[in-house]
Structure 1
Amino acid sequence: MSRMKNRIFLTLIAALTLCSVAQADIQSPPGHHYNWSRKLSRGLGNVLYGVSEPFQVWEKTLEQDGAIAASTDFFVEGLKRMVVRAGYGAYEIATFPVPSWKLTYRPPYYRKDKIDPWWGYSEFSPQPGALAEAGYSRTQGW
């Protein structure tokens, strides 16, 4: 009878050990790279380099709609995006020590840039002289 109890006891210990290992298997939780230092660098980048937004708007509009649309959209949409990005940057600099957006350090703006890069804001300011998104299909312009 004692051999049976020892077997059951050892089986139970082995099962509990395996269960505890299986529950601790998570290696990288979603959002692990959003922390206070990334929030501060995102805020500083948005304040300092948000001035590149009008030039990015110029490039996108020039490619899609032509020079006349680009010259007017440069001022209207470009300046609006620059001010919005600077406002988000100032907010993130002021609140970087605390998880303020939905109790996380994620960006406070809606990141639609993966679906529609024209209306969404990327996490960091666009790089002047290079489009942030890549064209994955070939098109022929006539």
Structure 2
Amino acid sequence: MKNKIILSLIGVLALGSFAYADIQAPPKAQWNWSRKLSRSVANLAYGVSEIPLHWQKVERVDGANAAASSMVIEGTVRTAVRLGYGVFEFVTFPAPVYKGGYRPPYYVNDRFDTWYGYQEFPPQVGFMSQTRYSRGQSW
């Protein structure tokens, strides 16, 4: 009798060990309504930081004259896009709107090409130590 109980317990534990591999987070678990709300508030509050950041990017590559004109045009466009997405996400934060989830609706390609696309949250101006991409070293 004891052998049957022990064998059945071992069988239950062996079958239960297969169920462990199925416990995972769903694909869209990192984005939820609170992250969407915080992203919208950040876009509304700090979307203007796109103007000086665009100055830094263009000045590093093309010089100060190109940066001055590009900052006015492209920086203003990027700020308007950020503010528009901030308003859109603030109004729709309780509902999963974009592709049935709470993902950012704008083009996010900052890991591969940092020039185009938008980061999920507005960028910081100045020294950034938490960037997700590697920077080249020039001698």
Normalised by the size of structure 2, how large is the TM-score?
Answer: 0.83
Q: Which has the larger radius of gyration?
A: 1
Which sections of structure 2, spanning at least 5 residues, go unmatched?
none
The one of 78, 81, 85 aligned to 2:78: 81
Question: Which moves more between the two structures, 66-75 or 123-132?
Answer: 123-132
Take 2:29 and 2:96, find their aligned partners in 1: how far apart are those partners?
A: 13
Q: Measure how far apart 1:18 and its partner are.
A: 2.1
| Map of 1:90 onto structure 2 | 87
Q: Kindly provide the amino acid, as one letter, of the partner of residue 116 in structure 2.
A: W
Take 1:11 and 1:102, find their aligned partners in 2: how far apart are those partners?
A: 45
Instruction: Find out whether 1:53 has 2:45 as its counterpart.
Output: no
Instruction: Find out whether 1:125 has 2:109 as its counterpart.
Output: no
Take 1:22 and 1:116, find their aligned partners in 2: how far apart are those partners?
A: 35
The one of 24, 33, 37 aligned to 1:36: 33
What are the Cα deviations for residues 67-105 of structure 1, in whole angstroms up to 9, with x where unaligned? Answer: 110010001110010011111111110110011111111
Question: Which moves more between the two structures, 120-129 or 88-97?
Answer: 120-129
Decide whether aligned partners of structure 1 residues 139 and 12 sit closer, same or farther in structure 2, where only a CA change above 3 A counts: same
Aligned-CA RMSD value: 2.5
Q: Measure how far apart 1:7 and its partner are.
A: 8.3
Q: Kindly provide the amino acid, as one letter, of the partner of residue 22 in structure 1.
A: A
| Map of 2:135 onto structure 1 | 136
Moved over 6 A (4+): 2-8
| Map of 2:100 onto structure 1 | 103
Q: Kindly provide the amino acid, as one letter, of the partner of residue 63 in structure 2.
A: G
The secondary structure found in structure 2 opposite 1:127 is: coil
What percent of counterpart residues are identical? 42
Aligned residues: 137
| Map of 1:69 onto structure 2 | 66
Normalised by the size of structure 1, how large is the TM-score?
Answer: 0.82
